[in-house]
Amino acid sequence: MDGNIGERAEHRQHAIRLRIPVASVIPSGYVDCILIVKHHLRLAQWFHGLTWAVIILFAPQVFGLEKIIREKIETSYSVENGQFSNTVSYLLGAPLVGGNKIETLINGDQIFPSMLKAISQARRSITFESFLWHSGKISDQFIEALSERSRAGVQVHCLVDGMGRLEFNSKDRKRLRKAGVHLVTHNPVRWFRPWRWNERTHRKIMVIDGTIGFTGGVCISDDWMGNAEDKEHWRDTHFRIEGPVVAQIQGVFMDNWIRSRSAVLHGEAYFPFIASQGGLAAQCFKSGSDDSAENARLLYLYSIAAAKKTIRLSHSYFIPDDLAVSMLVDARLRGVKIEIIVPGVIDHNIVRMAARTRWYKLLECGVEIYEYEPSKYHCKVMIVDDLWTTFGSINFDDRSFRINDESNVNVYDSGFAAEQVRIFEADKAKSHLISLEEHKARPWHTRLAEALCALLRNQL
């Protein structure tokens, strides 16, 4: 965190810039607050001191969230046991329901056309929640598609995070509202409410007519376009879902819609009766700092505890806390093969540096960690024992586990898991295996920088 006061002599103005770290919240990793004070250096200095006072005053709320789960989870049964599927339904407050069909979509070339096609076929309602929405080429396509459906009489509801919409310009927002789209900002960034800056929705949900759902890691930004062919674009996975679990996805959307609008969407347009569409058992659950607190963390820790054969993790942000590291080590010591794919290229290098401080014990006990090299890596998938798969918006870090509003879909099916394993292996083939020797050989100045970044671990 740093501040500086500069003078623009040609205008005889004084300026102050305060850089507040909120890494992994917005693309730059910072909120840049700039105050221009004409002819008054003391006022700028006063604002500088006031801002630091606000940060210190609300630091306990930002950095002092106490973890609920503090003891290891231990199970005598595996994910194959019916006790696991029964328990996870009650723990997460969302029953596993059968009759679902799920299509896996790889990178923007597959993801965006599928989403846009579904929008064009909407007849009653579209509900959409996203963390990032950046103006650009793909944004224009979504604006046009959503506006066309709204003008045709479809009820269109869009919810965008207040921090994540900073690069979604007002002209584009007006285009949507002019077409009749109900566009709402979730938790707008207000200077007079700094204690809420850290409360973000990280969910990525779209539901069409209450019957077709989408979720995964993709955001509305040109960075996700293409096929992850270079280091400027994202390798990501999204999912198109049909079947009874879509009603649960819709229910998660309604959580923040009600909080933001104080209005309830209901009836057949949003919650129709859904017949069986396939053979997959699935559930969708929500997690957040208030309601359903630590559901995300609970899911991962419980799944790790029940693993008996394999754990495969593909995660853009992998910064496990002490309890997660300990449970992963325990799993490895009882014979579970653990493979983890993380980014070799990342948007916030502070996250990558902090993550590396957590690797030593894992590498030492035989966990295999790979860095994906062709492009930025944004996947959020875990596969346990070739049977249990979870995917959605949740990262393996404190921010997702304890602070952000998140949601994931869990699938209990060996065939679906096998498909995700094939994708995992394809990504692994494009990744570099990090050896313990290589990790230990990092120069001292790199280790020092990583240790400093790790001080912000509970916010990354």
Angle at 11 between CA 5 and CA 16, to 5 degrees: 20
Q: Does 286-459 match 96-284 at the fold level?
A: yes
Dihedral of alpha carbons 394, 396, 397, 401, sign: positive
Q: Which of 310, 263, 303 is nearest to 283 (CA)?
A: 303
Mean pLDDT of the chain: 86
pLDDT value, residue 25: 35
pLDDT value, residue 356: 82
pLDDT value, residue 290: 76
pLDDT value, residue 371: 96
Coil, helix or strand for 109? helix
27 falls in which pLDDT band (50, 70, 90)?
Answer: very low
CB 6: neighbour CB atoms within 10 A? 11
Is the confidence at residue 41, as pLDDT, over 70? no
CATH architecture, range 286-459: 2-Layer Sandwich (3.30)
CA–CA separation, 412 and 188 (whole Å)? 37
24 falls in which pLDDT band (50, 70, 90)?
Answer: very low
Which residues make beta-bridge pairs with 102? 241
Contacts of 187 (CB under 8 A, 6+ apart): 161, 162, 163, 196, 199, 200, 201, 260
Is the confidence at residue 388, as pLDDT, over 60? yes
Which residues make beta-bridge pairs with 313? 340, 382
13 falls in which pLDDT band (50, 70, 90)?
Answer: very low
CA–CA separation, 26 and 29 (whole Å)? 5
DSSP code at position 435: P
Contacts of 78 (CB under 8 A, 6+ apart): 84, 306, 307, 308, 309, 385
Is the confidence at residue 82, as pLDDT, over 90? yes
Do the beta carbons of residue 47 and residue 82 sit within 8 Å? no
CA–CA separation, 322 and 331 (whole Å)? 14
Is the confidence at residue 432, as pLDDT, over 90? yes
Angle at 319 between CA 314 and CA 325, to 5 degrees: 95
60 falls in which pLDDT band (50, 70, 90)?
Answer: very low
More confident residue, 183 or 12: 183
What pLDDT digit, counting tens, does each position of 274-309 carry?
999 999 999 999 998 877 778 999 999 999 999 999
The size of the chain, in residues, is 460
Do the beta carbons of residue 122 and residue 212 sit within 8 Å? no
Which residues make beta-bridge pairs with 214? 206, 240
Is the confidence at residue 445, as pLDDT, over 90? no
pLDDT value, residue 26: 35
Angle in degrees, 0-180, between the axes of helices 444-454 and 349-356, rounded to the nearest 10? 100
Q: Where are the alpha helices (DSSP H) in 121-184?
A: 137-151, 170-178
458 falls in which pLDDT band (50, 70, 90)?
Answer: low
pLDDT value, residue 358: 85
Is the confidence at residue 459, as pLDDT, over 70? no
Average the pLDDT over 301-328 and give the result.
Answer: 96
Displacement of CA 40 from its chain's centroid (Å) = 42
Is the confidence at residue 64, as pLDDT, over 70? no
Is the confidence at residue 380, as pLDDT, over 90? yes
What pLDDT digit, counting tens, does each position of 108-167 carry?
999 999 999 999 999 999 999 999 999 999 999 999 999 999 999 999 999 999 999 999
pLDDT value, residue 21: 38
Domain residue spans of the chain: 2-63, 96-284, 286-459
CB 403: neighbour CB atoms within 10 A? 22
CA–CA separation, 298 and 304 (whole Å)? 10
Q: Long-range contacts made by residues 87-90, C-beta under 8 angstroms, separation at least 24? A: 87/302, 88/283, 88/299, 88/302, 88/410, 89/283
- Kindly state the helix (H) or strand (E) to which residue 252 belongs, with its residue range: helix 245-261
Do the beta carbons of residue 212 and residue 241 sit within 8 Å? yes
Is CATH 3.30.870.10 correct for 96-284? yes
pLDDT value, residue 65: 59
219 falls in which pLDDT band (50, 70, 90)?
Answer: very high
pLDDT value, residue 420: 98
